[in-house]
Each structure stands twice: as structure tokens, then as C-alpha cells.
Amino acid sequence: MSRGTVSAVFLLLLTGMIFPAGRNQTEIPLRFDHYYDDAEVNAALNALSSAYPELTRLDVVGNSEEGRPILCLTLNNRKTGDYLEKPALYVDGNIHGNEIQAGEVCLYLADYLLGQYGKNERLTALLDRSVFYIVPVVNVDGRHHFFHGVASAWTGNRSLRIPVDDDGDGLTDEDGPDDLDGDGTISTMRKRDPLGDWKSDPEDRRLMVKIKPGEEGEWLNLGDEGLDNDSDGAVNEDGEGYVDGNRNWGFNWQPSYVQRGSGDYPFSGAGIRALARFIRRRPNICVAWAFHNCGGMILRGPGAKEQGEYPRADIAVYDYLGLNAEKMLPGYRYLISWKDLYATYGDFVEWMVNVNGTLGFVGELFNSSSETFRSNKELQVNKGDPEDDLFSDRIERDRERLKFSDYLAHGELYKTWTPYRHPVYGDIEIGGWVKMSSRLPAPFMLEELVHRNAAAVIFTAEHLPDVRLEKVSVTYLGNGLSRVRVRLRNPKGVPTMTALAEDRRLYPQDMLRARGLKIAAGGPVLDQFNNRTDYKRYKPELQFLSLPAFGVRLFDFLVEGFGRLTLEYSSPHAKNQRLMIDVPEGE
């Protein structure tokens, strides 16, 4: 079926949802010059599943607090094995409802891999030997309300839809921001006041800067636009939630006075709980990628200093994968979460690493410094400036971003200040950055972002374990005894078991079993040149092992008699192997 000509129209009957007219028609290949809302994401997943039935499986992971389905598209060639029989990579996005480009990376990854199957030799081989579990949108409620409700450039619709009494008045979520001017964005309110601590930026009066000691002010910054909805004398003090889907997982969880947004207990989020069950039923996941925004970072754990560092063998794997991903993502930095950013508790990737024994990365998408309006000379002068990023509060960045909005987005990223009569504050102005700015790229920048990040995921997937079981030699030793030497090798950069998982015994090791002939002894070879082997005393026909990244293991079996010896290798994280060896009758 041609990727360029397929058009899929469907009803999402498996979830009990019927999309409104005009929103259930999706063409393949997908487009990445705009953002898909939640209904369109579901439509896209169904379209991909319909277009590539031999390579996909679409599952409902569970439902959100508001009853929306969370979907997972599994990519696997059934002709080369069941989806649980191969090494797998898990990737998700949009666990925070306002981080929408994370979902786009996941959609692009699925669309690109499926579209290239049978055309690109490397990607075809990748889908033949491995599995992708892709959950584009974890926080489906948040994404829905981000598109169809209101939000600011930085906050809003991030939380799970679990009511929380933020102001302790016995009510929940009763006083959030209000879209006073009806433009779909929660912008900033300001009031003219010579005693305020802000003034208009002399270089661009649309921006405000903090006054210096001794200067006269011009504006009071009143924060996000809104009203005192509960008449308690405060504005916007009890908005939606806040339960953070990425602080609600069952590893190193901490209560809200330690970790804001953690919820009442681990897995209190309905969708989070369902996703955890879904993942636990897929023990072949070797690596997890979770996409967020923003800041241009590739993060690995630990999430908190007190966890201690990962084992050195695992760090070597993280460095290999992370530093290569950094090369694919100009301006991004490969960092350690707690050390280079901040500590987190109860987050998803640390649950994957420390409970499920996978490797785990967080992709923080989009670096606002890419919103440039500078000459080549100016770019060279500022090259490598560590403050020239999203987390800088320098007015120079906002000035440049405003020019970017003016000349490349033609004013769409910034709302001009507009008078408004507020019932509490009186005459104010509303303006500033709109919700489709700041944390996410303008649509014309989206396709490169999703492709580069998908390429980083694909690089990781190409290094999922690919174990080969090979005969090395059969040597007759006399008295009816032969030595059979076999080799297990993993030419890829991901081990079959992380060192952390092995240390904590999170799941069984790989197994190598000999059948068909009597095994007198067996064990790993310590020195192949001097024939030194660590023979196992009991059940020598069964050997336990793990294969490191780019690793090789040799095993000897001392076999009595002659005939057909069958060797079987099994692993949660690599495809099972079988090798038949004929042991000839000795002299």
C-alpha cells in the first residue's frame, strides 16, 4: 500500500468514541507543519494502524480521569515473531498536557518508520528484529484542554485532571485563570503605577523590565489574567489540579510537601496507573524514551542525588547513546537530571530504570535560542554562551524572540497590550506571549525538530540487543567425552540486562540450556587460550548470564557420548536463539 496515496477514514469503535464530523479523516503520510489536537492524534494512530495492519497493533492502555482513551501503537512485523519475543523500545510524550510537541515526535516516529518499511534497508531490518511501543499522549485530558480550553505560554493544562484544594478553603479548582479578553490565551495583566517595580523596556516598549534601585516604576505586574472567582481576596490561587503525571510513579515517590504535584499516593492518577500495568505486561522493554519540553536537553538519571550514581557499566552505555544523540540535536545537551537540572521524585523514567530494569532517557524538546534574529557575526560572538537559552531571564533574549515573532512568525507569538476594565484592579492592560509560543516551536520549525529527535530514538533502537549464538568448536577429549564450545555475542550498544537490574535482581538473567546429550560439566570460559573454564557444579546444562554492550561470552559444555546437541538461549530482552551441533563419535 503506497504511503503517499493511502487515506484512512474510521470510527474508533474500540474505545467507544465517535469523532465529530470533519475530525475523523486523516491522510497518510501525516503532516508535521501543524499540531494535532487530541482527537486528531487518535485519528492518526487509527489511520496508521489501518494503513499498515501487518506491522501495527493498536491498544487502549486505559482511560484518563475524564474518560478519554490513552492509546499505544505497537510497531512489529508479525512475520518475524510475536511482539513479546523481541527486544523493545518504549517511547511516550505529553505526560504534561501543555507539552504538545512531545506527542508530535511520537507520531512522527511511527509515521516515519512505517513509511520507510520496505524502502529503507536499515529501517526495514530494524522493524523486522525489534518492537516499538509508542504512546504519543499520556495526559490526554491535558492535551484536549490545551487545544480547546485556555492556557498561558508557560502554565495551564499541565496537570492530571484530579481536583486539588490549593488554597485550603474546602473547594477545589474554583479559582483558576480566566480568559478575560476571549482570545484563547491566558496572557499577562499589568496596571500603570509609578510605584510598581517594572517599567517599559526602552528598546521595545512592548516588553517590561525590572526597575533598578532608585528608578521610578511604571507598571505593576499582576500576573496571569483572571478574576477572584471565589471572593476570597485572591486571584488565580486555586486553578486546575495540581497532580503532576511525572511525579506520581511508584519509585522514590515523596509527598507534596517534598515534591509538589506528587498526588496523595503513587499511581493515584487513573491513566498513570493503567500505563504502569500496561508496561509491566511488556517485560521485553530494554530502553524508554519519554519526551517533554523544553530546554534542548537529553537527560538521564539519577533523578535525585540520594539515589547514588548508576553502576559504571550502565553509565558507559548511557554516555554512548546520549552523546551520539547530542550530535544529532544541535544545541541540545546531554545532562544528568539531579546534577545539571533539578531533583525529581516519583518520576516515570526513574520508575522504568529502578523498577523495570530498563535504560531511560528524557528528551526535553526545543531550545528557544533557535528562535534567532541575529547576523552570522552576532551568532559567532554569542556561540556557546551558557545563558543563551530558555532558562535565561535576560531581556536580550526576549527582545530577540520578539523580533523573531515579528519577522518570522509575523506577530503570531505575542499579543499586543490591550486595555481592559478589571472589576478588582480597575483599568489594566492585557498582553504578552501567547500559549502557542515560548515552550514550543512555531509550526514551520516543527518538522526538523521531530525528525532529529526521532532519529535519536532510532539510533537507540538500532542498539537494542541482537544476540547471536554460534558454534566455536567441538573437541574430542577421550573416554567418550567431548568439549563443545559456543559463543554468545551482542554486537550492539545496549546490554541484555543493565548492571543495576542485575545487582538488584529485578528480573531473571538470560539462560543458556543444553539438551539432547548428557552434560558432564558446563560453564563460562575464563581463558580461551589456556582452556580455563569455571565449571558449574550443579545442573551444568543450565547456565545463567547477561550479555554486556558490545559483549561476548564463551561457554564450554563437556558432553558424554555422541549425537545431536541442542543449545537454547532465552532472554527477556533479546530474541531467543537455538543452535544444533552434531557431536561426532570419538576415536
CA distances from 62 to 15, 76, 247, 470, 563 (A): 10, 21, 19, 42, 52
Share in percent of the chain as helix, strand, coil (round to 5): 25, 30, 45
Q: Is residue 37 part of a domain?
A: yes
Asked whether 59 and 136 are in contact (CB, 8 A), the reply is no
Give the C-alpha separation, 555 to 349, whole Å: 35
Q: How many residues does the chain have?
A: 587
Q: Are residues 424 and 451 in the same domain?
A: no
Q: Are residues 177 and 210 in the same domain?
A: yes
> Which residue from 349, 273, 356, 285 is spatially nearest to 61, judged by alpha carbons?
273
User: CB 587: neighbour CB atoms within 10 A?
Assistant: 5
Lookup: cell for 15: 474505545
Q: Is residue 174 part of a domain?
A: yes
DSSP 78: G
Give the C-alpha separation, 72 to 573, whole Å: 20
Q: Is residue 147 part of a domain?
A: no
Give the C-alpha separation, 488 to 475, whole Å: 18
**Where in the sequence is the domain holding 107, given as residue range(s)?**
7-140+260-366+442-462
201: amino acid identity, one letter: D
Give the C-alpha separation, 378 to 365, whole Å: 24
Lookup: cell for 101: 510537541
Output the pTM of the full model.
Answer: 0.92
Three-state secondary-structure class, residue 80:
helix
Q: Are residues 16 and 128 in the same domain?
A: yes
Asked whether 580 and 348 are in contact (CB, 8 A), the reply is no
Q: Is residue 575 part of a domain?
A: yes
Q: Are residues 352 and 455 in the same domain?
A: yes
Q: Is residue 188 part of a domain?
A: yes
CA distances from 323 to 38, 316, 455, 538 (A): 33, 10, 13, 43
Mean pLDDT, 10 residues at a time, the chain of 587 residues: 36 34 66 94 97 97 97 97 97 96 98 98 97 98 94 88 86 88 93 96 95 94 93 86 94 96 96 98 98 94 96 98 97 95 96 98 90 79 48 76 94 95 95 91 94 98 98 95 97 98 97 97 95 94 97 97 97 96 87
Q: Are residues 337 and 197 in the same domain?
A: no
**Would you state the pLDDT for residue 9?**
32
DSSP 28: S
**Would you state the pLDDT for residue 259?**
96
| Phi/psi of residue 166, nearest 5 degrees | -70, -30
Give the C-alpha separation, 546 to 313, whole Å: 13
The residues near 68 (Cβ < 8 Å, ≥ 6 apart) are 38, 140, 141, 144
Give the C-alpha separation, 413 to 442, whole Å: 8
Q: Are residues 213 and 302 in the same domain?
A: no
Q: Is residue 373 part of a domain?
A: no
**Would you state the pLDDT for residue 89?**
98
Kindly report the CATH number assigned to the domain that includes residue 495: 2.60.40.10
Q: Report how many domains make up the chain.
A: 3
CA distances from 548 to 53, 323, 556 (A): 35, 19, 19
Q: Are residues 21 and 38 in the same domain?
A: yes
Angle 290-294-296 from CA coordinates, rounded to 5°: 90
Q: Are residues 317 and 302 in the same domain?
A: yes
The residues near 512 (Cβ < 8 Å, ≥ 6 apart) are 469, 486, 488, 542, 543, 544, 545, 555, 567, 568, 569
Lookup: cell for 563: 549425537
**Would you state the pLDDT for residue 208?**
95
Give the C-alpha separation, 211 to 36, whole Å: 41
Region label for 173, one of left (φ > 0), alpha (ψ between -120 and 50) or beta (otherwise) = left
Q: Is residue 379 part of a domain?
A: no
CA distances from 408 to 53, 280, 373, 404, 524 (A): 41, 46, 9, 5, 63
Q: Are residues 316 and 453 in the same domain?
A: yes
Kindly report the CATH number assigned to the domain that includes residue 115: 3.40.630.10
Q: Are residues 455 and 477 in the same domain?
A: no
Q: Are residues 456 and 507 in the same domain?
A: no
Q: Is residue 227 part of a domain?
A: yes
Q: Are residues 273 and 339 in the same domain?
A: yes
Residue keyed to cell 501503537: 73
